Chain A
């Protein structure tokens, strides 16, 4: 991107700040307020989903049934996943998008601010319903986050609540995506061509198109589940001419791009941080943009690698195996470019950079185990074992979640105007990194040894690594309390952050040209990007 900037930000209009009290948060149309609400919401959901994960790990601490009954255990695995995917990771990246996209493209706000407010409150409604569904007769949804029929059709009174919650969350995501696209396409500062946009903006633009393409697919699938349950249709019932495997195809046509919806913004965050702390420009900017677009395109033609064991023609298995392998190419381009950016850079290791580096190593581990499972004959061995649990948690926790934490540590001083406690943040990093590996790495061994996923009890041969994994789980969970403390402490006060915040942030984006904390209204005079 171009980094020589002139901008007319001198006139900061702080005279009409936010409304007072609760109405500020209920009715706000300010992108910074809404970004903050998304981030707080996702943190609350992260802790809620995390508590559910701890129920799972506590039950699996040793063989035998200790704490919860199997039905509740299944509810925990299901709702943990739904909350983490739709309530924690996605809203966190939407929160970062709300905060940073207008600041990075020099826009005064999102293009559709009222719809922005509606998107957020729809999401809150969705997750209120989903959590309330836990208390319905028959318990919460327990068929896994994939909601495969016919099992999911046995859900009790929670079923319509969960389906409605998914529809609301989907509508919220689509509205958010529309807002992001029209903002980026229409409100960029003069001189900021598409290939001058920061990588975070690029990755979000592509993610938004993915969201619009696949969220309606998921909504369609769960609508068909709803009519099968209540209106005696047989979309997925073989007895009536339907096909349960059709659901799997539709779900994964949504589900695989969904993985990239969570990880592409993470790529964008890391692409912002590594150049700043390497004090260099991003290596291969254009290649990074094309690689992101390639990954998004390929995400639509790999879905059946989630279903190799369902029984499909050999040609189908070959196609989905090879297309899956192909994703390694643009992903490899990205890893190469991040590494090349650091090459001969003047590196420093502040918390955002530490998390970005951990992302680089640990996401790559998740990528490699994904390649292993992309090999169809090998997947027959790994399928539905703890190996897949280890794989996707490596992609999503030290992958997406670490990148989000890196982003929070990177931009938090710009949001609050205070520098956080670096020493505590370093502690948070090291505890998280050690425990996340203690938690998830042994699950590779468990999976290779044949331990199935989604079971509350297991054979004694799996006892040792399960105990290690549970210790890691509790360690990781407790470490996140430190994250909450660091954020609250920073929001309440601390050393004043400079406008540029990071020494290496010079020439790395428009957001560093506004004061810290960023005023309630920014870029009221359009900046000019040269």
Chain B
């Protein structure tokens, strides 16, 4: 990383946004498998 590192506030926002986006991605993954489970009931 270069010398102009992000400020503490920027780091906090970067970390928070990244976690939210990752949770959204995992949520979509789980939701689609759950939809498959519901659809595949005999």
Contact = CB atoms under 8 A, between A and B. Distances in A.
- Select the residue from A113, A115, A186, A215 with max chain B CB neighbours within 10 A: A186
Contact of A109 (B2, B29, B30): B2
Contacts of A212: 21, 24-25, 28
B17 to A, nearest CB: 5
A108 B22 contact: no
Contacts of B40: 233-235, 240-243, 246
Which residue, B24, B33, B37, B41, has most C-beta atoms of chain A within 10 A? B33
A174 B28 CA distance: 12
A186 to B, nearest CB: 5
B1 A250 contact: no
Interface in A471-530: 521-526
A217 B29 CA distance: 6
A181 B5 CA distance: 18
B17 A181 contact: yes
A371 interface: no
A243 B30 CA distance: 19
B1 A29 contact: yes
Given A187-B6, A220-B29, A521-B3, A112 B18 contact: yes
A24 interface: no
A213 interface: yes
B3 A221 contact: no
A224 interface: yes
A521 B5 CA distance: 12
Interface string A102-120: 0000001101110100000
Identify which of A111, A179, A521 gathers the most chain B CB atoms within 10 Å of its CB.
A111
B34 to A, nearest CB: 9
B36 A250 contact: yes
A216 interface: yes
B42 A186 contact: no
Given A220-B32, A242-B39, A525 B4 contact: yes
Interface string A219-243: 1110110000000011100001111
- The A interface is mostly helix, strand or loop, or mixed, namely helix
A447 B26 CA distance: 40
Nearest to A175: B22
A223 B33 contact: yes
A524 B2 contact: yes
Contacts of A109: 1-2
Contacts of A186: 6, 10, 13-14, 17
Contacts of B37: 235
A220 B36 contact: yes
Contacts of B21: 177-178, 181-182, 212
Query: Chain A interface residue count: which class?
Result: 35 or more
Contacts of B3: 13, 108, 521, 524
Contacts of A223: 29, 33
Contacts of B6: 111, 186-187
B28 A217 contact: yes
A108 B40 CA distance: 50
B4, B14, B17, B33: which has the most chain A beta carbons within 10 Å? Answer: B4
Given A178-B18, A181-B17, A241-B42, A246 B2 contact: no
Contact of A216 (B13, B17, B25, B41): B25
Contacts of B39: 235, 242-243, 246
Interface string A327-339: 0000000000000
A112 B16 CA distance: 12
B42 A240 contact: yes
A332 to B, nearest CB: 31
A216 B2 contact: no
A424 interface: no
A185 interface: yes
A216 B1 contact: no
Contact of B17 (A182, A215, A224, A522): A182
30 contacts: A13-B2, A108-B1, A108-B3, A112-B14, A112-B18, A174-B22, A178-B22, A181-B17, A181-B21, A182-B14, A185-B17, A186-B10, A186-B14, A187-B10, A212-B28, A215-B25, A216-B32, A217-B29, A220-B29, A220-B30, A220-B31, A224-B36, A233-B40, A235-B39, A235-B40, A250-B32, A521-B3, A523-B2, A524-B2, A526-B4
Given A13-B3, A187-B6, A215-B25, 9 more contacts: A112-B14, A174-B25, A178-B18, A181-B17, A185-B17, A212-B28, A216-B25, A216-B27, A524-B4
